[in-house]
A and B are shown apart, each in its own frame.
Chain A
């Protein structure tokens, strides 16, 4: 069973009376442990595709299965639980909660799960150690650099041990050296923990490191949609 299976997925947006066809029939299968880059020009539907895979949006048409479960049939609460336990998000703008420290930000998904504070703290500290931020656990995001914030975001995405991590342009706001460090980190975690990473990017350095590349254009997969041999 594939981790993600998309069959004839379409997504339309309505801008007044104009219909925008963001995705025009996507068929895609993603397996556990993949490190997939989704690339294409602006407006090709990369972010829409990631939103659908991450279960934060619903397709207009088609079937989306995550671990064999049809996502569209889930209630909002069930969808929230699925995201919390199965998916980790890394955003282009980091999206850390500004009033929380690095440690508290990383603890957040576990606390949403209802995990005891001590357990959440231990796991969060472990993840922060993995991303090399042990010294900054008490620091708030505003006192951290972009690279440090993105590392906190990676730790937050991984703290629940999700089977899938979705990253939307994770290196877009970072300088070259920091971007390289973040790419290495994600690759390492993919190798070590067999966590599936799916990200959209224009960054050639990141594209060079992917195991599989999916190219989107005008809401259609141009190549890379088929399961790799």
Chain B
């Protein structure tokens, strides 16, 4: 086998220019696909962190059964009572994979600075739990002023565009108004403690964040909308949903559990778009690799017809001829992928040095262009391109193997 490999390598080196063009085509194709994969890997990571930590969705959200369908029409009925909330948190926190389970409530209404008013949407959170959920995310999207504080019920965080409209700088007072769950109008004083970037143009002019107890008071309820669960690993999301669903049902609690993926529509849409672009790009590379390899191997078969005849006369079977050319095709794929990997690492290093930024559509601040090195993806792509080149070589190889020995020997 070693000598057939040696023969294949020498045959590749026979026509250096043609092999180089093929290797370049495979290498550039490999680099294009792997760099895009590295970019999407980082983007998916960013979007996942943004959904789980930035939006505060956690990994799982537990609702009372019926809330998602009819909760807005009859919130009193479909919100979680204090007892239910306590029970659910106790059950959920018994699982060792769970870092935290915390109640949340979303409120909407009007916010005013005394002169002008506008609508708002606010998430009522327990500040210390929210800090745990945010984790390192806070470093990425820092708050101007201070964060929510358990001791200061009326202190709120305001999204940056909303704060700009109402001139609600940290330390300034305002009023929030909302209809309680009983249908009464309620108004409460607030003080801006911090201004934050929600990360999206669409929400930066509406979002606020309240203390959980303050949000409950505004709605005149002691109930929770949902329990947010943070896990130690996002990859356990689905398995933990199954476990928790079973445990809650066993305890007689009729709940529905949604994952962060299901709740973050933005993640799903962006991922769908990137997956489609990836497929498109990969298809183009696939065509280039197949065409280059078929062309190179086709030319090689034509030029080496007499040699094929000689090998057949010496006793090499048809399968042997096919394997020899397939080996050359596979080698082209391997060497091309190695070249692609070198290109990938070069561009990856350049991006790290230059650290360019860009502002994606709908995002409020520039984000750094980061391409991840994903060894698993690089290996998968390499195997894929080797198999592809090998397959592409089979067609001309089969043609070579089928040739009549006498005709092949007489070929000039």
Contacts and interface: CB of A to CB of B under 8 A. Distances in A.
A157 B11 CA distance: 23
Given A57-B405, A99-B10, A111 B312 contact: no
A51 interface: yes
A83 B2 contact: no
B397 to A, nearest CB: 16
Given A57-B406, A95-B409, A117 B2 contact: yes
Given A51-B406, A107-B3, A85 B317 contact: no
Contacts of A91: 310, 409
Interface string A95-126: 10111100010011101110001000000000
Interface stretch (A74-82, A174-182, A208-216): A74-82
A80 B10 contact: no
B172 interface: no
A80 B320 CA distance: 11
Given A99-B11, A117-B2, A117-B3, A56 B314 contact: no
Nearest to A52: B406
A115 B309 CA distance: 21
A36 B11 CA distance: 37
A170 interface: no
The list of the 5 closest CB pairs from A to B, nearest first, reads: A84-B315, A99-B10, A56-B405, A95-B310, A80-B317
Contacts of A81: 315, 317
Interface string B217-236: 00000000000000000000
Contact of A109 (B6, B10, B307, B314): B314
A54 interface: yes
B152 interface: no
Interface in B1-33: 2-4, 6-7, 10-11, 13-14
A183 to B, nearest CB: 22
B3 A80 contact: no
Nearest to B14: A99
A35 interface: no
Contact of A85 (B309, B315, B404, B405): B315
Contacts of B141: none
A197 interface: no
Contacts of A199: none
A107 B3 CA distance: 10
A117 B404 CA distance: 29
B402 to A, nearest CB: 10
Nearest to B307: A97
B131 interface: no
Interface string B355-368: 00000000000000
8 contacts: A56-B409, A84-B315, A95-B409, A99-B10, A104-B6, A108-B311, A111-B3, A112-B315
Contacts of A84: 314-316
A137 B3 CA distance: 16
Interface string B292-320: 00000000000000110111111111111
B10 A100 contact: yes
Given A95-B306, A99-B7, A112-B316, 14 more contacts: A54-B313, A56-B313, A56-B405, A56-B406, A57-B405, A57-B406, A80-B312, A83-B313, A84-B314, A84-B316, A95-B307, A97-B311, A100-B7, A112-B314
Contacts, number: 70
A223 B316 CA distance: 35
A156 B311 CA distance: 12
| Interface SS majority for chain B | helix
A142 to B, nearest CB: 12
A108 B314 contact: yes
Contact of B317 (A77, A95, A99, A109): A77
Contacts of A85: 315
Given A111-B3, A112-B320, A89 B10 contact: no
Contacts of A111: 3-4
A83 B10 contact: no
Contacts of A107: 3
A114 to B, nearest CB: 10
A80 B14 CA distance: 27
Contacts of A89: 310, 313-314
Interface string A147-160: 00000000010000
A51 to B, nearest CB: 5
A83 B315 CA distance: 5
B149 to A, nearest CB: 77
Contacts of B14: 98-99
Contacts of B10: 99-100
Nearest to A95: B310
A83 B7 CA distance: 22
B68 to A, nearest CB: 66
A91 B411 CA distance: 13
- Residue among B3, B14, B315, B406 with the most chain A CB within 10 A? B315
Contacts of A54: 313
Nearest to A140: B10
A112 B312 CA distance: 10
A54 B6 CA distance: 29
A76 B7 contact: no
- Residue among A95, A99, A107, A156 with the most chain B CB within 10 A? A99
A191 to B, nearest CB: 25
A97 B310 contact: yes
B318 to A, nearest CB: 6
A12 B319 CA distance: 28
B310 A113 contact: no
A114 B317 CA distance: 12
Contacts of A83: 313-315
A190 B11 CA distance: 35
Given A100-B10, A117-B2, A117-B3, A80 B315 contact: yes
